[in-house]
């Protein structure tokens, strides 16, 4: 069965992005152009533009288009930015960042996803694929002008904040009391804090569990 992926992609833009404040023209253009079906398992290609947390294997899921679009809109990437994508999975968000920024490091820790992502991103000369624990970031190519954590995490490791340049921005999904909120923050000197800007269902990423609290 053949699918009209271009029509599906444009429908995603109209129904899932324009209706949810994904309003940066550069982000919209990138999401209308990048073939999302190439960054998911072949047997899931027909679902690539569905409004769902798409199963990728290994217990991982792909973020909703709306969530990814809002994160990138908030970051306002420029053609001069050096970007780290944490939890790059099959490479879709890294491909979007490649359209928006100067250079991208796509970090993934799950072997099969990392291999698929590296293959799918082979046509993007400004993307470097990296494999390692997500929560540790990728210090070898730091500092970054922007970091996008393309999923939901319980805690934000200091390692990621440390890898931001002064003035660098970070966007992520943060899980608070069972609710995921997309957050944005900017590093100023040694100071960094985040502000939530929308509640949004997001795919959970491993390795960011909140430390257990001691009860006396």
Q: At what angle do helices 92-100 and 25-33 cross, to 10 degrees?
A: 130
Question: Residues 31-44: what's their mean pLDDT?
Answer: 94
Note the pLDDT of residue 214: 53
| Sheet containing 179-186: order of strands | 127-131, 103-108, 82-86, 144-153, 164-176, 179-186, 194-199
The fold of 5-199 is: Rossmann fold (3.40.50)
Owner of token pair 């046509």: 123
From residue 143, give the alpha-carbon distance in Å to each of 12, 50, 58, 172: 34, 35, 30, 18
Assign 216 a pLDDT band (cuts: 50, 70, 90): low
Q: Mean pLDDT across the stretch 40-55?
A: 93
30 — phi, psi (to 5°)?
-65, -45
> For 107-129, what is each residue's pLDDT tens digit?
999 999 999 999 999 999 999 99
Which residues face 179 on adjacent strands? 176
- CA–CA separation, 9 and 200 (whole Å): 21
Q: How much is the pLDDT for 1?
A: 46
Closest-CA residue to 164 (of 149, 147, 150, 148): 147
The answer, yes or no, to whether residue 150 has pLDDT greater than 70, is: yes
Beta bridge partners, 105, equal: 84, 128
- Share the mean pLDDT of the chain: 93
Q: What DSSP line would sit under 39-95, residue for residue?
A: GS-GGGGGGTTSSS-EEEETTEEEPPHHHHHHHHHHHT--TT-EEEEES-TTSHHHH
From 196, 160, 150, select the one nearest 177 (Cα to Cα): 196
For residue range 180-200, list pLDDT tens digits in order.
999 999 999 999 999 999 999
């Amino acid at each position: 069965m053949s699918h009209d992926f271009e029509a599906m992609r444009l429908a995603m833009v109209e129904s899932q992005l324009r209706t949810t404040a994904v309003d940066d023209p550069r982000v919209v253009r990138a999401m209308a152009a990048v073939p999302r079906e190439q960054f998911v398992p072949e047997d899931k290609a027909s679902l690539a533009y569905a409004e769902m947390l798409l199963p990728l294997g290994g217990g991982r899921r792909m973020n909703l288009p709306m969530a990814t679009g809002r994160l990138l809109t908030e970051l306002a990437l420029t053609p001069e930015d050096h970007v780290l994508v944490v939890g790059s999975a099959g490479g879709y968000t890294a491909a979007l960042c490649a359209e928006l920024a100067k250079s991208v490091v796509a970090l993934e820790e799950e072997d099969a996803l990392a291999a698929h992502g590296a293959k799918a991103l082979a046509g993007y000369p400004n993307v470097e694929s990296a494999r390692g624990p997500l929560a540790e970031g990728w210090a070898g190519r730091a500092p970054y002008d922007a970091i996008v954590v393309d999923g939901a995490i319980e805690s934000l490791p200091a390692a990621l904040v440390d890898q931001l340049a002064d003035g660098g921005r970070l966007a992520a999904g943060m899980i608070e009391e069972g609710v995921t909120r997309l957050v944005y923050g900017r590093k100023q000197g040694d100071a960094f804090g985040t502000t939530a800007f929308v509640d949004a269902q997001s795919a959970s990423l491993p390795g960011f569990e909140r430390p257990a609290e001691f009860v006396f």
